[in-house]
Amino acid sequence: MTGSRSTLSIYGEKAIELLIRLCGVSAIIFVFAIFFFVFREGAPILASKDFSLGKFLTSTEWYPTSMSNVRFGTLALLAGTLSVTGVAMLIAVPFGLGAAIFVSEFCTGKVREILKIVIELLAAIPSIVWGFIGLTVMNPIIQNLFHVPVGLNVLNAAILLALMSIPVMVSIGEDALKAVPDSYREGALALGATRWQIIWRVLLPAAKNGLLAAVLLGVGRAVGETMAVLMATGHAVQIPHSIFDSCRTLTATIAAELGETREHSPHYQVLFLIGILLFTITFIVNLIADFVVKGVRKK
């Protein structure tokens, strides 16, 4: 009896191991499958004689539906995505990490619970609603405050993106800080360090990997966000020269135009190529992060 039982449990264990392995492998399969699909839809354009990859990456002229002279230059869109994301991070990183430090180190009891709930609520607002806010609330505020003709611009979208990515940063950042053992805080405290010195010299170095992950998740959220930026940037194809210029992002372009294209037309294929470009950007961001974390660890 015990013999058969143990064979059964051995098989059971094997089966569970297999299942877990499958889960792990499936993540890799999904990534490749998605990449493959997007690539298959977009790739044929690369072979077309009317299309030049150089122009695609370096030209600012985006006239995908022109009858006489079709031009697929994405530089302006890329600039739009990068500038909106960049400005958003300038706002979100200090606020997000600051809030994480505040919640984790300075709040106790009720205040802390309430703050966490409010921040989570912020994360639950759908992006289309943020878009409304950009259109109807932020637009006039920016116009009046800075005396600019249009309030739908880089700044508007960046503020929305910042607000959208702050909750992620706060909750991941707070987890990272909470994971720092209390003995570090007490150790530093007993050495006569002030609260600020403890945060600056002990907590931040100890939690840096987690904090970096928090920032990167925020960047990922910002690069990939579509609806809100579609509504708040002004959707104008141009390289923005100031934060008050309108612009257009890669994601918004795909969202706005894909529905209008014929399947497998050049325009359709170029939009998929833009998808690959986005993919590449996030891939590079993650890669850099990996290197940074490893470099930090080595030291």
Partner 1 sequence: MVKPKVQVENLRLSYGPREVIHGISFDIEPNEILGIIGPAQSGKTSLLRCINRTIEFTVGAKPSGTIRVDGEDISEMRNVYELRRRVGMVAPLPVGLPLSIYDNVAFAPRAAGMKKKGELDTLVEKCLTQSALWDEVKDRLDSLGTKLSGGQQQRLTIARALSHSPEILCLDEFSIAIDPVTTMRIEDVLKVLKKEVTIILVTNLVQQARRLAARTMFLWNGEIIELGPTEQLFGDKPKDKRTYDYVNGIFG
- 193 is a site residue for partner 1 (CB under 8 A): yes
Contact range with partner 1 by CB under 8 A, out of 72-80, 97-105, 111-119, 199-207: 199-207
Total chain residues near partner 1 (CB under 8 A): 18
Is 183 one of the binding residues for partner 1 (CB under 8 A)?
A: yes
**Cα separations in angstroms, 100 against 94, 109, 121, 152, 274:** 10, 15, 16, 30, 34
Closest CA to 207 of 183, 177, 182, 166: 177
Helix axes of 208-224 and 75-101: crossing angle, nearest 10 degrees: 140
Regarding 4 and contact with partner 1 (CB under 8 A), the answer is no
> Which residues are within 8 A (CB) of 208 and not within 5 positions of it... i.e. 6 or more apart?
296
Indicate the DSSP class of residue 262.
Answer: P
Shortest spacing between CB 206 and partner 1, in angstroms: 4
The secondary structure of 89-158, three-state, reads HHHHHHHHHHHHHHHHHHCCHHHHHHHHHHHHHHHHCCHHHHHHHHHHHHHHHHHHHHCCCCCCCHHHHH
Interacting residue with partner 1 among 76, 202, 232, 247 (CB under 8 A): 202
Placement of tokens 């720092």 in the chain:
180
Question: At its nearest, how many Å lie between partner 1 and the CB of residue 172?
Answer: 19
Q: Does 113 bind partner 1 (CB under 8 A)?
A: no
What's the CA gap between 148 and 140, in Å, rounded?
A: 10
3-class SS of residue 216: helix
27-35, 67-75, 179-187, 277-285 -> range binding partner 1 (CB under 8 A) = 179-187
Closest CB 110 distance from partner 1, rounded Å:
13
Q: Is 188 in the site for partner 1 (CB under 8 A)?
A: yes
CA of residue 4 relative to chain centroid, distance: 52
Per DSSP, the three-state class of 21 is: helix
**DSSP-derived 3-state class of residue 265:** coil
Residue 194 binding partner 1, by CB under 8 A = yes
Interface positions, 40-99, toward partner 1 (CB under 8 A): none
Quick one: which segment of 39-47, 178-186, 255-263, 267-275 binds partner 1 (CB under 8 A)? 178-186
Residue 62 DSSP label: E
Contacts of 146 (CB under 8 A, 6+ apart): 244
Binding residues among 204-263 for partner 1 as defined by CB under 8 A: 205-206
Q: With CB under 8 A as the contact rule, which of the stretches 60-68, 139-147, 157-165, 197-205 interacts with partner 1?
A: 197-205
Find the binder of partner 1 among 148, 189, 212, 293 (CB under 8 A): 189
Q: Which stretch binds partner 1 (CB under 8 A): 14-22, 28-36, 154-162, 189-197?
A: 189-197
Bridge-partner residues for 72, per DSSP? 62
Q: How far is the CB of 188 from partner 1 (least distance, A)?
A: 6
User: 3-state class of 85 per DSSP?
Assistant: helix
Among 235, 274, 242, which residue's Cα sits nearest to residue 258?
A: 274
Does position 17 bind partner 1 by CB under 8 A? no
* Cβ 212 to partner 1 shortest distance, Å: 15
Q: Tell me which stretch binds partner 1 (CB under 8 A): 115-123, 124-132, 186-194, 218-226.
A: 186-194
One of 4, 24, 108, 263 touching partner 1 (CB under 8 A): 108
Chain contacts with partner 1 (rule: CB under 8 A) = 108, 181, 183-184, 186-194, 197, 201-202, 205-206
